[in-house]
Structure 1
Amino acid sequence: MSWIREKELSFIERLTANILKAGPMPKHIAFIMDGNRRYARKLHVERQQGHMHGFDKLAETLRWCLNLDIREVTVYAFSIENFKRAKEEVDGLMELARQKFTRLLEEQDNLQKHGVCIRVLGDLDMLPLDIQKLIAQAVLSTRTHNKCFLNVCFAYTSRHEISNAVKEMAWGVEKGLIKPSDISEFLLEKCLYTSNSPDPELLIRTSGEVRLSDFLLWQTSYSCLVFQSVLWPEYSFWNLCEAILQYQLNHYTLQRAREVHREEQVLEQLEADRSCVADLLQQDGTGNLLDSQSKKDLLQKYTAEREKRIHCFLNILQEKRNNFFVELNKNSLASAKA
């Protein structure tokens, strides 16, 4: 099955899509694709068959999203917690990943046609090396595409992602790239695996479970959360439309909450910068000798220097992450030649 199923909507589906698009539409949707194992039990087939059906449904759902002008999708493909499952099931999931990423590499024309950029987010060092290499090839071969984005969370949990972001900031301080006073909520966000994406406006979980299972905990603070009882392999276009309608009904409240949070972030950063400048003036004994304009100028200078440090640090961090895929790809090409 292709990563994006080539199938047009029916007349009634196109009509419904056009009606929905007249209202506010999410630009980024996240899916917790739950229910593959229960679906397999329901059909009295092997678990692996349920996971295969789950991937097929993802391909179909991506097509629906494109038809609805939803240009970014993030999916919870494999949790770090899944490594605790039976070895047979984990091995089966790894084999499915091999097959699907190999298939993706064979579909370059289709991905280029739709402009699909594939990102794989998680602690990829936990995966078998051959899968890491396949992922690296997929990421690098589509990284220039910019019409739509598929983020595959693989070997991922949100707590692991947040703790990794803290380690990245500590590394930046250790290397002298940033100061301890530069650490903030904003900087932590930029150190997450998802730093290149806007937060999802809508998160959908299937199978009737009403928890996030350690998925995008930070990023979904102001998202519409929709829990649907349908098993993932049985998900339909109409289930997606229902979720989008729930988002539209709550759009104003969510939008306002995001705006208030952004305003609070700006004020908190301004206050932090003022506090740092006041500490510096107190240390050199000039705090009471400067007029208000001079203090304002110093604040602007400090803010500009902080922003420059952070910009340089984030560029270096992104380069480090890019090099991870580049080196894997080099090793893969070297192995192929050998």
Structure 2
Amino acid sequence: MSWIREGELSFWERLGVGVIRAGPMPRHIAFIMDGNRRFAEKQKVKKLEGHSQGFAKLTETLQWCLSLGIREVTVYAFSIENFKRSKEEVDGLMELARQKFTRLLEEQENLEKHGVCVRMLGDLTLLPQDIQQLIAKIELTTSRYNSCFLNICLAYTSREEISHAVQELAWGVEQGLLQPSDVSESLIDKCLYSCKSPHPDILIRTSGEVRLSDFLLWQTSHACLVFQPVLWPEYSFWNLWGAILRFQMNYNALQKARDMYMEERKWQQLENDKAQVTEKLKQEGSSPRDPQAWQMLLQDCRAKREERIQDFLQALERKRADFLEKLVSASA
């Protein structure tokens, strides 16, 4: 089955698109696609068939998002915790991933047509080698597309993601690319697996569960959280429509909270910069009384920090690219 469907919306769905697009629209929606196993039990079929039906629903949902003008979607495909499930189910899910990723690589023309960039978020080293290689090919093949973005969280938990970001920062300090004082909330954000994406506007979880299950904990602090009782394979356009309507009803409050947070972060960074300049002057045994001289020192401190950070982020990007390219080379 194609990852990107070309199906037409019904008359009522097209009408729904027109109505909902009159309000503020989310740029990025994240899904916890829960309920595949319960759907299988309900339909009296094997668990793997439930997961297969869940994938079919994902492709349909991506088409709805394209029709609504939503440029970015992130899905929770496989948690690190899922490795604790039975060997039969885990092996079945890995085989399903092989099939779907192979199919995705065969859809180069379709992906290029829609400009779909596919990113995999998670600890890929936990996956079988051949799946890692498929992922590397997908990421490198679609990296130049920028019309819309699909982020697939595989072998992922938010706590592991944050731990990994901290390890990357420690590596940066060890390599002399960063100073310990450069580490900040903003820089941690840039070291997450999701660093190339804006934070989600909406997080949707299906199946009636009302917990995040270690998914995008950092990124959803100001997102609209929507918990819906429908099982994922039974998800409909109107479920998505209702979630967006909920976002629109809460848009002003969400935007106000985000704006306040950004202002607080700017103020905190300014205070940190001032403290660093004061400490530097103290170490040098000087204390310029000229406000202009003080401002120049502050600007110099910021410029040097920004230069270090950019060098560090470029080094991280090269390290990631090298990892993917080595995987592709090993599969040749």
In the alignment, which residue of structure 2 is the partner of 1:237? 237
- 1:124 CA drift (Å): 0.1
- 1:137 CA drift (Å): 0.7
Q: Secondary structure at the match of 2:75?
A: strand
- In the aligned structure 2, how far is the partner of 1:286 from the partner of 1:320? 41
In the alignment, which residue of structure 1 is the partner of 2:275? 275
In the alignment, which residue of structure 2 is the partner of 1:295? 294
Q: Secondary structure at the match of 1:70?
A: coil
Q: Secondary structure at the match of 2:24?
A: coil
In the alignment, which residue of structure 2 is the partner of 1:110? 110
- In the aligned structure 1, how far is the partner of 2:16 from the partner of 2:137? 38
- In the aligned structure 1, how far is the partner of 2:317 from the partner of 2:218? 20
1:243 partner amino acid: A
- 1:322 CA drift (Å): 1.5
In the alignment, which residue of structure 2 is the partner of 1:30? 30
- In the aligned structure 2, how far is the partner of 1:182 from the partner of 1:65? 38
- 1:290 CA drift (Å): 3.7
Per-residue displacement from partner, 1:292-322 (whole Å, max 9, x unpaired)?
A: 2211110111011101111111111111112
Per-residue displacement from partner, 1:212-231 (whole Å, max 9, x unpaired)?
A: 00000000000000000000
In the alignment, which residue of structure 1 is the partner of 2:133? 133
- 1:72 CA drift (Å): 0.3
In the alignment, which residue of structure 2 is the partner of 1:336? none
- 1:285 CA drift (Å): 0.4
- In the aligned structure 2, how far is the partner of 1:25 from the partner of 1:52? 30
In the alignment, which residue of structure 2 is the partner of 1:222? 222
Structure 1 unaligned residues grouped into runs of 5+: 334-338
Of 5-14 and 226-235, more deviation after overlay is shown by 5-14
- 1:324 CA drift (Å): 1.1
2:293 partner amino acid: S
2:16 partner amino acid: T
Per-residue displacement from partner, 1:25-66 (whole Å, max 9, x unpaired)?
A: 001000000000000000011000000000000000000000
- 1:291 CA drift (Å): 2.1
- 1:276 CA drift (Å): 0.6
2:162 partner amino acid: I
- In the aligned structure 2, how far is the partner of 1:173 from the partner of 1:309? 10
Q: Secondary structure at the match of 2:151?
A: strand
TM-score normalised according to structure 2 size: 0.99
In the alignment, which residue of structure 2 is the partner of 1:319? 318
Q: Secondary structure at the match of 2:226?
A: strand
- In the aligned structure 2, how far is the partner of 1:141 from the partner of 1:314? 22
Per-residue displacement from partner, 1:248-277 (whole Å, max 9, x unpaired)?
A: 000011011111111111111111111011
Equivalent residue pairs, number? 332
In the alignment, which residue of structure 1 is the partner of 2:147? 147
TM-score normalised according to structure 1 size: 0.97
- 1:68 CA drift (Å): 0.2
- In the aligned structure 1, how far is the partner of 2:196 from the partner of 2:168? 16
- In the aligned structure 1, how far is the partner of 2:8 from the partner of 2:323? 38
In the alignment, which residue of structure 1 is the partner of 2:62? 62
Q: Secondary structure at the match of 1:225?
A: strand
- In the aligned structure 1, how far is the partner of 2:76 from the partner of 2:304? 38
- In the aligned structure 2, how far is the partner of 1:175 from the partner of 1:108? 38
Per-residue displacement from partner, 1:199-245 (whole Å, max 9, x unpaired)?
A: 00000000000000000000000000000000000000000000000
In the alignment, which residue of structure 2 is the partner of 1:175? 175
Summarize the alignment of residues 198-213 of structure 1 with structure 2, pairs less than 5 Å apart: 198-213=198-213
- In the aligned structure 1, how far is the partner of 2:289 from the partner of 2:178? 27
Q: Secondary structure at the match of 1:91?
A: helix
Q: Secondary structure at the match of 1:189?
A: helix
